[in-house]
Structure 1
């Protein structure tokens, strides 16, 4: 129709074709649910918490400066855990073969503000394997750290356990995104079909868009309608029905 559509025209289009938006929104909702439930593989997280510091006696209390040093050393511990030497030993303890790159992507070291406690978080498609990897990383790190830097005390505060609750995909969030995307697609399809449609549906388009003057109105005539006319024969004074096509051809001829 026109090249541009105003706000009121858009609202009118949406009111007239609301069912299109409902259908596309429903399609987006169902597609997001199907993909999230049956296509995307769920991911599970297991976390193990560690405390690393030097040992001290009652006569030698731990000073504040040494606590700050231990906190700053957590960055070093992170690099050590993600080092190929540690990851290689972890891979040897896993029952299933896994590449170093895949193992590196599964592991994330998290700190807790100004605390000497840090966590090793492992994300995997199997909750049992996620816990196994987290515990294996902590054990290998515990065995290796003493020979690399001067650390004599490492405590595993809470070992990793399988977590049956998946962290991804977020099905409800994906459904909301799919519904919104479907609604947007529905509105866009209505606009596109309206813009490319060159047919005239009402007098408003002629008078307002084309700025033509309306000279009259032609009512709709069905082909099966007949017009009664008199027969030209003098001896036959009865009226008979003539098909509308014959009337039109006579007028055009």
Structure 2
């Protein structure tokens, strides 16, 4: 089948393609706006640098030590020991924290090392923008104190506290609809191909010469 013939077949059945795209985009829009729970994200950033009480003339060694700490802290910050303290402190001033388990708290958190720097970012996600900010900030506060206990110095410093987001991070209706449109095109093309194949098979079984599709 030549390209020109393929394009001609698609154009004659463009309505199938349009219906498939409209159905997929419409379904994505409906689910995104009416069935997907909104999720807000807030993040607190911390700077990690090994800072001994005794002065050091070797800044390079301090930077290397800080890099090593960052890797360790990424794991420690989501440990049960730290998150249990976070939960306990949240319960003192927020009734909703009592209904949340340590495992659920862990699922709300994402710890990242920004661009392989000495900056640790604790991001919290929640259906409430205020709760997301409170959780992220509490994680930062608790972990800074915890880091001082295990390193006996101030190796972690808060850079930016988390603030309540104005817009949800999820869902993203426009992105969902764009992906759905692509899926709709693929579904439409498949439907056209199956229809063409079905018509050709019917014509062949009847022993007739294949007709040009209209």
Please report the TM-score for the alignment, with normalisation by the length of structure 2. 0.80
Q: Which runs of 5+ in 2 are unaligned?
A: none
- Displacement of 1:109 after TM fit? 1.9
Aligned to 1:128: 130
Higher relative CO (Cα under 8 Å, sequence separation at least 6) belongs to: 2
Once the two structures are superposed, residues 169-213 of structure 1 have per-residue CA deviations (whole angstroms, 9 ceiling, x without a partner) of: 22222111111211221222222233223665xxxx944x49xxx
Please report the TM-score for the alignment, with normalisation by the length of structure 1. 0.69
- Displacement of 1:125 after TM fit? 2.3
Distance 1:31-1:60 versus aligned 2 partners, 3 A rule: same
Paired residues, what number? Answer: 200
Aligned to 2:11: 15
Q: 2:174 aligns with which of 146, 169, 172?
A: 172
- C-alpha contact (below 8 Å) 2:46/2:157 kept by paired residues: yes
- Distance (Å, rounded) in 2 between the aligned partners of 1:153 and 1:190: 63
Q: Which runs of 5+ in 1 are unaligned?
A: 211-253
- Distance (Å, rounded) in 1 between the aligned partners of 2:178 and 2:116: 38
Compute the RMSD of aligned alpha carbons: 2.6
Select the structure that is richer in helix: 2
- C-alpha contact (below 8 Å) 2:28/2:177 kept by paired residues: yes
Which aligned runs of 4 or more in structure 1 are off by greater than 4 angstroms?
Answer: 5-9, 59-62
Distance 1:10-1:84 versus aligned 2 partners, 3 A rule: same
- Distance (Å, rounded) in 1 between the aligned partners of 2:147 and 2:15: 65
- C-alpha contact (below 8 Å) 2:53/2:153 kept by paired residues: no
Aligned to 1:196: 198
Instruction: Tell me whether 1:42 sits opposite 2:65 in the alignment.
Output: no
Distance 1:143-1:181 versus aligned 2 partners, 3 A rule: same
Larger Rg: 1
